Structure 1
């Protein structure tokens, strides 16, 4: 992005408002309202993917923020911690995709894996910026569904805003109760065999109804099990649960089991 970008007086005002409001963000509710408010005036978008990495390039957190309702299949396409668009973007960045970066469906501009995931997601474009490797952990932010085809101007705006997004997200993640902070390191308790089984089907992309049919239980029972899983992992939805399990290494070969062994 070598184009010289000069901000108009109105754009300068929008940028200042974004920075001022971002400095007051202290939790995820405020972070969400900020990204859906002041940031939308400067960089309108439908979805924001926020990826926070810890030392050693391990995914510590993945947030999928959106003002409109997204179906579970779309959320999985975007935020699956292993195969989703967010993961593809992060891997492409590590492999040298220059930031800030732009991809438009059907028009290239991104590595093939990212382009394929973008086209499957149902969004026309994505605008990405990453912090690069940092001692305390990196961050990557991706905006999807911009109303216009993003260009160097929008990429420059995201580059300017990125440090404020980065620190606001860090403050939001660190503004936790002691119990939530503990949950961010490890599960509050081992998952039961049934909970682990349901979570494995969630990872396969199955709906509550489909999981219930497979296991011979109702969709409501599946939902109740998932609510207990969310509390145990300290998360709020399916994508976050999968991301937390990935961060904890619970899906890795040789990892400690999600559930304690069954009694004989």
Structure 2
């Protein structure tokens, strides 16, 4: 925090005004359309980019959810391939941890910049071939105790100069994205067990409990889940307690991991 305040104290009145507008607009974001407009607005002055990927979850267990935001045609979460994108996100996360969880940039030719060869034929893979640099930074979401990683890709060579801005703006980037429901993609955000009614009975979980675990898996809090489903927070907590007992786990993340393991064995 001291570092950020020191940075801000050196800025001109023009830059302070721009930062103020960016931060104020971030707080008002509630839909993907508004998020995209905010990302393409004055934020571009400090973080020039064409593609933003937010990733969260348990990276140690390789349970990663993500959302892609871009103005480029076809670059959408629902059109992505988790099997090819997840290794890239895992590699970028590992590098971030190795660097002491500080922001960093990579350029064309740097290890870990692109998707694996099999992923280059998808729309995202083709778009990444036109990018020149990426910038990575992250934080721990105190609401869900999950690591959150933010990666921006730019066709320009300016992102190294954006490291300081990323440190200042990351909390507001996180705020804006946390206020928007992640878009669905094939593996992680699609409803679990929608075509497997017997599996819920096998676990002893109700349809509502499976629905709640879908939202837990993408990082929603009990309060957010209650609001989305139109039930009380107390009801959400009761359902989760039954889920924990049925799966013989003690925490939300353990439940997510257990369900993922059961699904994998059953696939």
The alignment's TM-score, normalised by the length of structure 1, stands at 0.55
Equivalent residue number for residue 173 of structure 2: 165
Whether the 8 Å CA contact 2:62–2:90 is kept in 1: the answer is no
Equivalent residue number for residue 124 of structure 1: 132
CA offsets 1:45-78 (integer angstroms, 9 cap, x no match): 1111111336987646311111122579xx7589
Q: Residue 61 of structure 1 aligns to a residue in which SS?
A: strand
In the TM superposition, residue 95 of structure 1 has moved relative to its aligned partner by 3.9
Whether the 8 Å CA contact 2:96–2:103 is kept in 1: the answer is no
Partner Cα separation in structure 1 for residue 263 and residue 83 of structure 2: 24
Identify if the C-alpha distance between structure 1 residues 77 and 143 changes in structure 2 by more than 3 Å, giving closer, same or farther: farther
Whether the 8 Å CA contact 2:64–2:86 is kept in 1: the answer is no
Partner Cα separation in structure 1 for residue 38 and residue 83 of structure 2: 21
Equivalent residue number for residue 105 of structure 2: 102
Identify if the C-alpha distance between structure 1 residues 116 and 31 changes in structure 2 by more than 3 Å, giving closer, same or farther: closer
Equivalent residue number for residue 51 of structure 1: 55
Equivalent residue number for residue 18 of structure 1: 22
CA offsets 1:202-227 (integer angstroms, 9 cap, x no match): xxxxxxxxxxxxxxxxxxxxxxxxxx
List gaps (5 residues or longer) in structure 1. 177-182, 193-232, 235-246, 259-264
Partner Cα separation in structure 2 for residue 8 and residue 79 of structure 1: 45
Whether the 8 Å CA contact 2:63–2:257 is kept in 1: the answer is no
Identify if the C-alpha distance between structure 1 residues 191 and 42 changes in structure 2 by more than 3 Å, giving closer, same or farther: farther
Q: Residue 172 of structure 1 aligns to a residue in which SS?
A: coil
Q: Residue 172 of structure 2 aligns to a residue in which SS?
A: helix
In the TM superposition, residue 97 of structure 1 has moved relative to its aligned partner by 5.7
RMSD between aligned residues: 4.2
List gaps (5 residues or longer) in structure 2. 121-127, 198-213, 216-255
Partner Cα separation in structure 1 for residue 43 and residue 82 of structure 2: 21
CA offsets 1:176-223 (integer angstroms, 9 cap, x no match): 9xxxxxx9595261269xxxxxxxxxxxxxxxxxxxxxxxxxxxxxxx
Partner Cα separation in structure 2 for residue 79 and residue 34 of structure 1: 30
Whether the 8 Å CA contact 2:55–2:65 is kept in 1: the answer is yes
Q: Residue 18 of structure 2 aligns to a residue in which SS?
A: helix
